[in-house]
Amino acid sequence: MMLNHHIKVAIRNIQKQGVYALLNIVGLSVGLVLGLFVILLVRHELNYDGSFSDSDQIYRMSTEGVLANNLINSATTPMPLAHVLEKMDGVEKIVRFIPGANNVVVKGDVRYNESGFMFGSEQFFELFDLKIIEGNTPVDLSSPRKVVITERVAGMYFQDEAAVGKFINRDGVEYEVVAVCEELPTASHFDFSFVASLNTIDEILLRKGDSAYVENWKSDWMYLNCYTYFKLNKNIDKNEFVKQVNVEKDKLISPQVEEMMKLEQSTDSIELSFFAQSIKSIHFASHLDGELKANSKPIYIQLFVFVAMFVLLTTCVNFMNLTTAKLKVKYREVGYRQLVGATRGQLIMQFLVEALVYGLGAMFIGMVLLELLLPYFNSFFELNLEFNFFRGWVDFFGILIALLLVGLIAGSFPAFFFSGRKPEKLISGNYSIGKAGFVIRGLLVTSQFAVAMFLVVVASAMWWQIDFVRDSEHGYDAQNIMVIERGNAVRKKLPEFKRELLQVEGVKYVSACSSLPGDDYIQGPFRINDVDNDRVVMLPLNYVDEDYFNVLNLRLKAGRFLSTELGDSMGLSLNVAAVKKLKLRKPLEDKLEVFGNSKWSLNTVGVIKDFHYESFFSEIKPLGLLLLSNKMRFEYVLVKTEGVNPEQIEEIKKIWDKYSDGAPFVHKSMSERLNRLYEEEVRIAKIMSVFALLSLFIALLGVIALVAFIIEYKAESIAIKNVIGASRQSIMSQVFSMFGFYVLLGVLFASLPAYWAIKAWASSYAYFDFIGFGAFILWAIVLIALAFVVTFIQTFRGSTLRLAAS
């Protein structure tokens, strides 16, 4: 079999090539590892929520429209929407759930602060069919105070004991564990650790109000208070279905809207409609208010695919360059093969097989590397990728096909380049490749440097922007602020708690608030009736105590800060953006009515300068700050200190333990919280940086190959120049001058696409700081300098060898 012969020759060639073979395999391995990593990454991103049996038929209902002059684009829906869905043909299952607030869950002496507690309706585990590890199926969530916990939670609270039938307590409610389920895959657009029966919420709400309040909460179309999912029959057209849902919804919602308008004597319109999102598309493409997790952006996927393709291509280019570097030897060999009877097809096959053998070697090394590095990749990039080469047919064949493609692309150039030569040229040693040959080789290096330049510039721009959002003026001072989560645990004795904290050395101010940057702020409808007209506006709100302003060092534009002493329980602080949106001419005099309850009106006591209470992704929006009453729940305690030291934290913890009724002490710095707003960006920037470094490595391998080729090709002239006394520097300059232009061309060529990519990426930011063209120039210089250094080393080594040979 000729194939055996080709494989044998390829292996022996690799052995003989030594350093070149090693460089070739290393280059291919690096490229393949990157390629595989990106494939895993993209697959991970695209396969979100694909693990449920009915994933293709599961949709989330979301809301859009106008409510009190505010555009609504929300992942949440009103509770009664489910009743509309129930009546629709084609709906096979419906689930509503409501994520619970961060709270302490207690089982005996075991207590943890839990953020993954949610309330789900009866069919939760039928729609999201996770494996039930303990307990009966179907899971019964029909009655209140039942809960399903995940395997991890069962281990935490019950260790090796059976969990079903046992009880846990959250916020004073005892829940019976009815089942233990497997963990939700991390590639899901939501997450949970506990799912309690949804109707438990009725009891919880009853503690806050009467049954009418509960009923209103459950039936009001104006409350976007739950997430609604359903399974749609395959035969039903989704778009037609959604149209019908909106028609049916209008019949129910219109009377409520009309009644409200009449009551409030308002002319503002309320328009709500609903749309369905396939759950498999949510992570990839949905960016609504109230998303349950930070979703991905298509630009990242596009960028990754682009990067993977180009890294693999540059890897192939590298292979071509290195394979053809030993031109002279190859030429003769091919010539002799032709003369002993090899056809062109047989020669092409030989080169392709050689490329595949290299590819197999590189793939093996690449897969071992990937297996070894994946845990580190996952940890470094905060991912949870899995690689199942030998466990999944898709992976197995996918990788084999990728290998075949890489082998074919990488081997094609040497194959066609050599096999197409005439034997008399090959054996005569007259192997001039002509100008076109050099240009092609030069362009290969151009492509490698273009990719490297593109990636280093884009990665640099990302880090530049991340530094900008972290370091720039937020309109408040985030330094030295400790954020204690689940602050409500000290609500009953907040004044005492604050007083005691202020005794701790270095503690300057202590404050409580309901929301922090990065949270979804609650919104309240306000009505303004002045000379302009009558209008209703939704305003994001934050309940804070009077020390909030000092802790964040907010700046006043007019009036004063909220004050308990001055009786500001009905007072309000607005930011400048809110004043503009509300079109208040005299903000300190105009009164704002709470829409729906005209008895309540608020006085604006001060206007504060705008500050970034959300991330830099969005423009600074209007904000109202209301004074926290002693009966109101709050989420955070903020402690402003002069500096942070472990003793101080320990003292604060002691005081917390004294007042928090056993709630765990969970704290972070404000800076850490701010950084979390950009963690997705940091993750992407890290990935891009690694890609950039590796593509630079591959580009430099390309330079080594090209220099090797030039030295080989110009062997005689180099030897002669050496003999007649030319310095190595002059030889090096000659070599560099032969391809330096192509490096420069690559660097220039990449600049415009890099600029476009940065602009495309920047479009997700409301505030963006462009890295500047100086960085482009700087990187261009660095890349050219690196190419020069590699040329210097390679030429020095090559010319020494040539001298010895001559």
Q: Which residues contribute to the site for other proteins (CB under 8 A)?
A: 2, 5, 8-9, 12-13, 16, 329, 332-333, 335-344, 346, 422-424, 427-428
12 or 492, CB closer to other proteins?
Answer: 12
346 or 764, CB closer to other proteins?
Answer: 346
8 or 499, CB closer to other proteins?
Answer: 8
Cα dihedral 612, 613, 617, 618 in deg (nearest 10)? -90
Cβ at position 428, least distance to other proteins in Å: 8
Contacts of residue 355, Cβ cutoff 8 Å, sequence gap at least 6: 319, 323, 407, 408, 410, 411, 412, 414, 415
Report the distance separating Cα 179 and Cα 776, nearest Å: 58
Cβ at position 360, least distance to other proteins in Å: 18
Q: Distance of CA 390 to CAs 217, 358, 395, 399, 671, Å?
A: 52, 21, 8, 11, 44
15 or 159, CB closer to other proteins?
Answer: 15
13 or 77, CB closer to other proteins?
Answer: 13
Cβ at position 5, least distance to other proteins in Å: 6
336 or 364, CB closer to other proteins?
Answer: 336
Measured on CA atoms in the order 652, 657, 658, 661, is the torsion positive or negative? positive
85 in Cβ contact with 61 (< 8 Å): yes
Cβ at position 436, least distance to other proteins in Å: 15
Cβ at position 338, least distance to other proteins in Å: 7
Cβ at position 805, least distance to other proteins in Å: 16
Q: By CB neighbour count within 10 A (0-12 exposed, 13-18 middle, 19+ buried), where does 246 fall?
A: middle
Contacts of residue 67, Cβ cutoff 8 Å, sequence gap at least 6: 222, 270, 271, 272, 525, 538
211 or 717, CB closer to other proteins?
Answer: 717
326 or 581, CB closer to other proteins?
Answer: 326
The β-bridge relationship of strands 117-120 and 194-197 is parallel
Cβ at position 329, least distance to other proteins in Å: 8
Cβ at position 21, least distance to other proteins in Å: 12
The torsion region of residue 524 among left (phi > 0), alpha (psi -120 to 50) and beta comes to beta
Cβ at position 421, least distance to other proteins in Å: 10
Cβ at position 422, least distance to other proteins in Å: 6
Cβ at position 716, least distance to other proteins in Å: 16
Report the distance separating Cα 152 and Cα 364, nearest Å: 35
Report the distance separating Cα 485 and Cα 476, nearest Å: 20
Report the distance separating Cα 49 and Cα 56, nearest Å: 9
Cβ at position 804, least distance to other proteins in Å: 18
173: which strand partners?
170
Report the distance separating Cα 116 and Cα 192, nearest Å: 4
Other C-beta atoms within 10 Å of 723: how many?
11
9 or 294, CB closer to other proteins?
Answer: 9
344 or 621, CB closer to other proteins?
Answer: 344
Cβ at position 8, least distance to other proteins in Å: 8
Amino acid identity at 363: M
Of 359, 283, 303, whose CA–CA distance to 75 is shortest? 283
Report the distance separating Cα 76 and Cα 97, nearest Å: 10
249 or 337, CB closer to other proteins?
Answer: 337
96 or 330, CB closer to other proteins?
Answer: 330
260-274: buried (b, 16+ CB within 10 Å) or exposed (e) per residue? Answer: beeebebebebebbb
Of 549, 555, 545, 538, whose CA–CA distance to 592 is shortest? 538
4 or 159, CB closer to other proteins?
Answer: 4
Cβ at position 12, least distance to other proteins in Å: 4
Report the distance separating Cα 238 and Cα 754, nearest Å: 39
547 in Cβ contact with 628 (< 8 Å): no
Report the distance separating Cα 546 and Cα 626, nearest Å: 9
338 or 514, CB closer to other proteins?
Answer: 338
Q: Distance of CA 431 to CAs 173, 342, 714, 739, Å?
A: 86, 19, 11, 20
Measured on CA atoms in the order 736, 742, 745, 749, is the torsion positive or negative? negative
Cβ at position 424, least distance to other proteins in Å: 4
Tokens of 714: 């110009």
Report the distance separating Cα 200 and Cα 175, nearest Å: 9
340 or 531, CB closer to other proteins?
Answer: 340
Other C-beta atoms within 10 Å of 438: how many?
17
